[in-house]
Chains A and B, each alone.
Chain A
Amino acid sequence: MNKIRFLAVVMVVLLSISLVGAQMTPRGGTVVVSDGEQLVGKNFNPFAPDPLNFTDRFIYEPMLIFNPVDGGVATPWLATGYEYGEDLQSVAFNIRDGVMWSDGEMLDAGDVAFTFNLFLTVPATDKAAIGDFLESVEVVDDSTVKFNLNRVYTLAHELIGGQMIVPEHDWADVEDYALFTNSEPVGTGAMTTVADFNEQSYTLCRNESYWRVDESGEQLPYVDCIRQVLFQGNDPANLALINGELDWVGNFVPDIEQTFIAKNPEKHGYYFWPGGATVQLYSNTTKEPFSDVNFRRALSMAIDYDAVTSIGMYGYTSPANAVGLGPRYDSWVSADAIAYADSTGQTRYNPEGAMALLDEAGYVDSDGDGIRNMPGGDNIDFKVQVVNGWTDWVTSVQIMSQNFQDVGLSATVETPDFGAWFSALQNATYDVSIGWGTAGNTPYNYFRNLLLSELISDEGVANAETWGRWTSDEADALLSAFTETADMGAHMDIVNQLQMLYVENMPAIPLFPGPTWYEYTTYRFTGFPTEDNYYAQGSPWERNSAAIVISTIHCIDDMACGQ
């Protein structure tokens, strides 16, 4: 059956070549990418802590793809669909027919079951913590796999659907999965042949039996190979990008209009879609005065958000809304929460308001040194932390600390290195710090990682982004209720309530939605996402989108196609 279908596809391809040969999409060429990868060794094991970046984009594929621009809607990939059982305690996936591994074997339900049984039996491979909710895996028939859950968990399809599926016939004999480097990968992805590998770059070439075809039945991808080139830092990568040596890049480029676009406005393009996680200002609510919501609110009113985004962030993003949900989640934003924030004036630049609020809450200059004190008379003297070297954030924090000084607070900037900074956040040894948020398919992940008390370990280590340590039973209950219903209306309602909690209690101050770095040049290839046709997130480091983009771009002329 599968073989027949494949043959049919081949026939259609051949037919279309002979019929509309002149209009066929040009094929061939090597796309040169730089996504900031720091290569250490040849490791294509998708379940290793940090495999090579191309592993889960072009070699292995998941059952569902969540294109960030699609607002959390799944695109069927290795599965054609999924369905929850009536009790919401199981979910069944239908495996696509006619998908071939790069060594010629067919993908079947057995491979999927093998992959998930691996997570259950070898915890070291379970990077997404599937074992947390998955009880067992059943092969129903050749093309159906049923996942039995240990509780009602309506986000199971996102996590299950997002896992890379590995071939049973290639992986069953591996001795130690944790130490497996998989140097000759067999995958279902678009680029599975490791053509070159060295300390500066590595190249993957097309999977001759890739399952995807375009509208006219032509096999995808159009390009032959993709090469990752490594640079020690941003600057040399940016020089190469401006020189036209790179086709597809996911780098921060300062003053991009002037440095990159102006060099060749025809061939150079970028779009920093503000669909990334919202960057927030966290404060340690276990310490005074940050435990006082009025103090946090006053801080948020002291910040000159426009200066932060225009100078600190080079104008690449704009201030966040009061609930910290970026444009990607527009349909989820609660009007009530926004109205509440409007009434208090929080997260709007208003130094007078901030000063009035501080006065009212008792933070006045009681010893006459020009700096505000605690109501008890103690000095307020806090440090705002930012990772050394993250210059856009450092500038943003410098602006904010000036803003805090302007309302009479003693704030100084502190720039520990990444490790020390992260450790301070997790162990609550900081005062105030800038930090990232989470961007998931729905706002659930954002609120969960910010508010869920379970994420603070018994030893007191704050995981995910619970760095502010503001937790409540109400938030915990809402978050767990979200995973127990599949009803969209109920989800909306829960997210509304979470937003209310967020604006009332200000567990963090939302600064700006993160811009997603993405640049491209069209000297050799075309078809990249543009601002007008943003069919997928452009950043080459976004794996869901990258799998779509690689099968959309194609070379433009004989020279590019021949490379």
Chain B
Amino acid sequence: MTRAIAKPAANKPSDDPTFFTKALDSVYAIVNSRFLRRRFVFYLVAAFAAITLNFLIPRLMPGDPVQLLFARFQGRLDPRAFEAIKAQFGFVEGPLLEQYLLYLRSIVTLDFGPSIMGFPIPVTQVIFNSLRWTLMLMGIASVMSYVIGTLLGVIAAWRRGNRIDTTLLPIASVLGAFPYFFIALLAVYVLGFQYDIFPTSHAYDTGISQDWSSPEYLWSVVYHMLLPLITIVITSLGGPLLGMRNNMIGVLSQDYIVMAEAKGLTERRIMLLYAARNAVLPSLTAFAMSFGFLVGGSILVEIVFSYPGMGYTLLLAINARDYPVMQGVFLMITAVVLLANFLVDVSYVLLDPRAR
């Protein structure tokens, strides 16, 4: 199955299909794609390897969760109660293989049991509370910066020397060269603290109750999201902008572009149908990959803006050696990244006939 043919059957001479048959072709290609089927098996193997590593990594860390719980109290908890608390945490004991089988079962049933740092609160609850804020903020932010960055990148490459190319690109690149938290802290300190334009912390005003149907609450959510969103987008715009522009430059020197120009096709058509379509492939990969960094990157956002989220939860779990929560978080990241990769592969099949 994995031993594939050296030359994929992509070089078939094809006649010039109309747009309609092309679309049908695409659907057919996705469903029937040998490539995608192979990729699917591949993803299963990758997921299994990642899941197993996820299981092993936390267990390599020194420190015992019960001891750490005690340590957190800094002598305010009687050492003799050690056994009492150990009794409550019975579930993390036992042979490694047994723990592994339990872990595999928990993945299938999506029941990770109680967390350690918040015992007996279930892991799913701990993760869910933080996951939605991370997905919302980081999802919006990464889509925004990629879409804006890619579009600007196309324009910048299209007309080298225009204002976007000579002004916006350097500014975006330099902003991206600052450490994110440096810009974010300055923003919080100046715009939030000194001038009081934006709130300095939280995802919504702590004085009002959570109610998604209340306009006051929704406004509060939007208002609190503005500064984190702006700082993320302006500091991460440079990557996709520069990446897309460089890809475009690479593609624009290709023979088929020269040929298209020679054929007298309009510039717009060349740009969008030929150049951008091909240049976007690596950008798309970058976008899918960026989901993996979502949680890692969001730790900084969450610390600076005291925004609730998964990154900080993960940091807490690591400090408390809360294996169940760590595994739950790992699993969510793994699932999101694999899913994103699979979607990218699907779009590859659509955008690049050679991958069919």
Chain A residues at the B interface, C-beta cutoff of 8 Å: 32, 38, 40-43, 45, 48-50, 123-129, 132, 159, 178-181, 196, 198-201, 227, 229-233, 235-237, 239-240, 242-243, 277, 417-420, 422-423, 426, 436-439, 449, 455, 461, 463-465
Per a CB cutoff under 8 Å, which of B68, B70, B202, B204 touches A419?
A: B68
Structural contact, A420 and B77, CB atoms closer than 8 A: no
B239 to chain A, nearest CB (A): 25
Offer 22 A-B interface pairs, CB within 8 angstroms, sorted by A. Answer: A41-B118, A43-B121, A49-B89, A123-B84, A126-B84, A127-B77, A127-B81, A128-B81, A129-B78, A159-B78, A198-B209, A200-B204, A201-B206, A236-B305, A237-B201, A239-B189, A419-B68, A422-B68, A436-B74, A436-B75, A455-B79, A464-B79
Contacts of A124 in B (CB 8 A): 84-85, 87-88
Is B188's beta carbon under 8 Å from chain A?
yes
Is B312's beta carbon under 8 Å from chain A?
yes
Contacts of B62 in A (CB 8 A): 419-420, 423
Contacts of A464 in B (CB 8 A): 75, 79
Interface residues as binary, B42-74 with A (CB distance below 8 Å gives 1, 0 otherwise): 000000000000000000011110011111101
Structural contact, B72 and A40, CB atoms closer than 8 A: no
Other 12 A-B pairs with CB < 8 A, given A40-B117, A178-B120, A463-B79:
A42-B121, A49-B119, A179-B114, A179-B120, A180-B120, A200-B203, A232-B307, A236-B200, A240-B200, A242-B193, A243-B200, A465-B75
Cα(A230)–Cα(B69), bound, Å:
20
Contacts of A159 in B (CB 8 A): 78
Per a CB cutoff under 8 Å, which of B64, B118, B204 touches A50?
A: B118
Number of B residues contacting the other chain (C-beta, 8 Å)?
Answer: 61
Structural contact, A40 and B115, CB atoms closer than 8 A: yes
Structural contact, A232 and B120, CB atoms closer than 8 A: no
Contacts of B165 in A (CB 8 A): none
Contacts of B210 in A (CB 8 A): 198
Chain B residues at the A interface, C-beta cutoff of 8 Å: 61-64, 67-72, 74-75, 77-85, 87-89, 114-115, 117-122, 125-126, 129-130, 133, 188-189, 192-193, 200-204, 206-207, 209-210, 302-308, 312, 316, 319, 321
Q: Which residue of B lies closest to A38 (CB)?
A: B316
Q: Which residue of B lies closest to A176 (CB)?
A: B120
Assuming the contacts A129-B78, A463-B82, asked whether A200 and B120 have C-beta atoms less than 8 A apart, the reply is no
Contacts of B121 in A (CB 8 A): 40-43, 181
Per a CB cutoff under 8 Å, which of B85, B130, B193, B303 touches A199?
A: B130
Q: Which residue of B lies closest to A42 (CB)?
A: B121
Assuming the contacts A123-B83, A423-B62, asked whether A200 and B126 have C-beta atoms less than 8 A apart, the reply is no
Structural contact, A49 and B200, CB atoms closer than 8 A: no
A384 to chain B, nearest CB (A): 19
Structural contact, A129 and B84, CB atoms closer than 8 A: yes
Q: Which residue of B lies closest to A465 (CB)?
A: B75
Contacts of A48 in B (CB 8 A): 88, 119-120
Cα(A178)–Cα(B83), bound, Å:
13
Cα(A438)–Cα(B129), bound, Å:
35
Contacts of A129 in B (CB 8 A): 78, 80-81, 84
A429 to chain B, nearest CB (A): 9
A438 to chain B, nearest CB (A): 4
Q: Which residue of B lies closest to A133 (CB)?
A: B80
Contacts of B206 in A (CB 8 A): 32, 200-201, 227, 229
Structural contact, B80 and A239, CB atoms closer than 8 A: no
Structural contact, B308 and A200, CB atoms closer than 8 A: yes
A465 to chain B, nearest CB (A): 6
Q: Which residue of A lies closest to B224 (CB)?
A: A200
Per a CB cutoff under 8 Å, which of B84, B85, B306 touches A233?
A: B306
Assuming the contacts A38-B316, A43-B121, A233-B303, asked whether A239 and B200 have C-beta atoms less than 8 A apart, the reply is yes
B228 to chain A, nearest CB (A): 12
Contacts of A463 in B (CB 8 A): 70, 79, 82
Cα(A449)–Cα(B119), bound, Å:
26
Cα(A196)–Cα(B130), bound, Å:
18
Cα(A283)–Cα(B122), bound, Å:
40
Q: Which residue of B lies closest to A445 (CB)?
A: B75
Structural contact, A243 and B79, CB atoms closer than 8 A: no
Contacts of B84 in A (CB 8 A): 123-127, 129
A142 to chain B, nearest CB (A): 30
Main secondary structure on chain A at its contact with chain B?
loop
A543 to chain B, nearest CB (A): 9
Cα(A126)–Cα(B308), bound, Å:
33
Q: Which residue of A lies closest to B68 (CB)?
A: A419
Structural contact, A232 and B67, CB atoms closer than 8 A: no
A408 to chain B, nearest CB (A): 33
Q: Which residue of A lies closest to B309 (CB)?
A: A232
Assuming the contacts A40-B115, A179-B120, A198-B210, asked whether A420 and B63 have C-beta atoms less than 8 A apart, the reply is yes
Per a CB cutoff under 8 Å, which of A38, A181, A236 touches B120?
A: A181
Contacts of A132 in B (CB 8 A): 80
Cα(A32)–Cα(B304), bound, Å:
21
Structural contact, A418 and B68, CB atoms closer than 8 A: yes
Structural contact, A50 and B308, CB atoms closer than 8 A: no
Structural contact, A437 and B130, CB atoms closer than 8 A: no
Cα(A491)–Cα(B210), bound, Å:
54
Structural contact, A423 and B118, CB atoms closer than 8 A: no
B220 to chain A, nearest CB (A): 11
Cα(A545)–Cα(B107), bound, Å:
45
B141 to chain A, nearest CB (A): 17
Structural contact, A127 and B87, CB atoms closer than 8 A: no
B177 to chain A, nearest CB (A): 24
Contacts of B192 in A (CB 8 A): 239
Structural contact, B79 and A236, CB atoms closer than 8 A: no
Assuming the contacts A199-B129, A449-B75, asked whether A236 and B306 have C-beta atoms less than 8 A apart, the reply is yes
Contacts of A438 in B (CB 8 A): 75
Q: Which residue of A lies closest to B85 (CB)?
A: A49
Cα(A123)–Cα(B82), bound, Å:
11
B217 to chain A, nearest CB (A): 11
Contacts of B67 in A (CB 8 A): 422-423, 426, 461
Assuming the contacts A123-B83, A239-B201, asked whether A178 and B88 have C-beta atoms less than 8 A apart, the reply is yes
Cα(A45)–Cα(B88), bound, Å:
13
Q: Which residue of A lies closest to B204 (CB)?
A: A200
Contacts of A128 in B (CB 8 A): 78, 81
Q: Which residue of B lies closest to A126 (CB)?
A: B84
A119 to chain B, nearest CB (A): 9
Cα(A230)–Cα(B306), bound, Å:
8
Cα(A314)–Cα(B189), bound, Å:
23
Contacts of B114 in A (CB 8 A): 179
A116 to chain B, nearest CB (A): 14
Q: Which residue of B lies closest to A436 (CB)?
A: B74
Structural contact, B312 and A232, CB atoms closer than 8 A: yes
Contacts of A40 in B (CB 8 A): 115, 117-118, 121, 126, 316
Cα(A461)–Cα(B83), bound, Å:
14
Contacts of B308 in A (CB 8 A): 199-200, 230
Cα(A230)–Cα(B307), bound, Å:
10
A278 to chain B, nearest CB (A): 11
Contacts of A239 in B (CB 8 A): 188-189, 192-193, 200-201
Contacts of A49 in B (CB 8 A): 69, 85, 88-89, 119
Cα(A49)–Cα(B76), bound, Å:
12
Cα(A159)–Cα(B76), bound, Å:
12
Cα(A418)–Cα(B72), bound, Å:
9
Cα(A12)–Cα(B87), bound, Å:
49
Assuming the contacts A178-B88, A419-B68, asked whether A127 and B209 have C-beta atoms less than 8 A apart, the reply is no
B221 to chain A, nearest CB (A): 11
Cα(A290)–Cα(B189), bound, Å:
47
Q: Which of A124, A132, A196, A232 has the most CB of B within 10 A?
A: A232
Contacts of B130 in A (CB 8 A): 199
Contacts of B77 in A (CB 8 A): 127
Cα(A123)–Cα(B87), bound, Å:
8
Assuming the contacts A41-B118, A42-B121, A243-B200, asked whether A127 and B72 have C-beta atoms less than 8 A apart, the reply is no
Contacts of A237 in B (CB 8 A): 201, 306
Contacts of B118 in A (CB 8 A): 40-41, 43, 50
Q: Which residue of A lies closest to B72 (CB)?
A: A50
